């Protein structure tokens, strides 16, 4: 008879050692919720400041690739290469354009074609490129740490034909995603 009383005593001792479960209050739920919201906001801020960018195009300079009103997501960490569509800031204005050449490259624009380092650029632009209205003279050597950017809508020469090389500090990222927003 000794062992059932021992088992009962051990069970009573174990029950006494258990902590009573606290009920959560509305305040503890609210604190937990706001901490989660704060952490999420901080992570999004870091991501959108240093790794990605969100832009809405307000011009047709990149038409037909990006139209007026389109939502664009950029990768700020990607190195712009020839042919990539980039977002850059010039004189405080956000612009969209296509990288044609990088620092040290020599660009020449003729009536119907473009050469980079004396090689014909296989450009898939819909609109013809013309040197008319260019402020820079050709052949143009792109300065180091700059890129030569042309609009996809080539009739609009508010690009490197007017500004010269775009410093890489002005680049806001390479476009990785475009969503049509007109009519929504």
Domain boundaries, the chain: 2-50, 57-179
pLDDT of 4 reads: 67
Q: Stretch 109-127: mean pLDDT, rounded?
A: 83
pLDDT in tens, 82-114: 889 999 999 889 999 999 999 899 998 888 888
pTM above 0.75, yes or no: no
**3-class SS string, the chain:** CHHHHHHHHHHHHHHHHCCCCCCCCHHHHHHHHHHHHHHHHHHHHHHHHHHEEEEECCCCCCCCCCCCCCEEEEECCCCCCCCCEEEEEECCEEEEEEEEEECCCEEEECCCCEEECCEECCCCCCCCCCCCCCCCCCCEECCCCEEEEECCCCCCCCCHHHHCCEEHHHEEEEEEEEECCCCC
CATH of domain 57-179: 2.10.109.10
């Amino acid at each position: 008879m000794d062992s059932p009383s021992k088992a009962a005593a051990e069970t009573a001792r174990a029950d006494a050692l258990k902590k009573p479960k606290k009920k959560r209050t509305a305040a503890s739920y609210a604190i937990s919720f706001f901490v989660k919201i704060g952490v999420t906001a901080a992570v999004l801020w870091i991501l959108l400041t240093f790794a990605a960018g969100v832009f809405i195009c307000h011009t047709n300079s990149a038409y037909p690739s990006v139209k007026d009103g389109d939502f664009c997501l950029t990768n700020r960490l990607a190195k712009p290469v020839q042919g990539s569509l980039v977002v850059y800031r010039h004189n405080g204005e956000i612009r969209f354009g296509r990288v044609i050449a990088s620092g040290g490259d020599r660009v020449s624009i003729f009536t119907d074609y473009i050469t980079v380092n004396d090689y014909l650029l296989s450009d898939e632009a819909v609109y013809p490129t013309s040197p008319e209205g260019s402020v820079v003279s050709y052949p143009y050597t792109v300065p180091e740490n700059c890129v030569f950017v042309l609009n996809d809508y080539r009739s609009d020469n508010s690009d490197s034909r007017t500004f010269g090389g775009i410093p890489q500090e002005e680049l806001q990222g390479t476009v990785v995603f475009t969503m049509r927003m007109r009519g929504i």
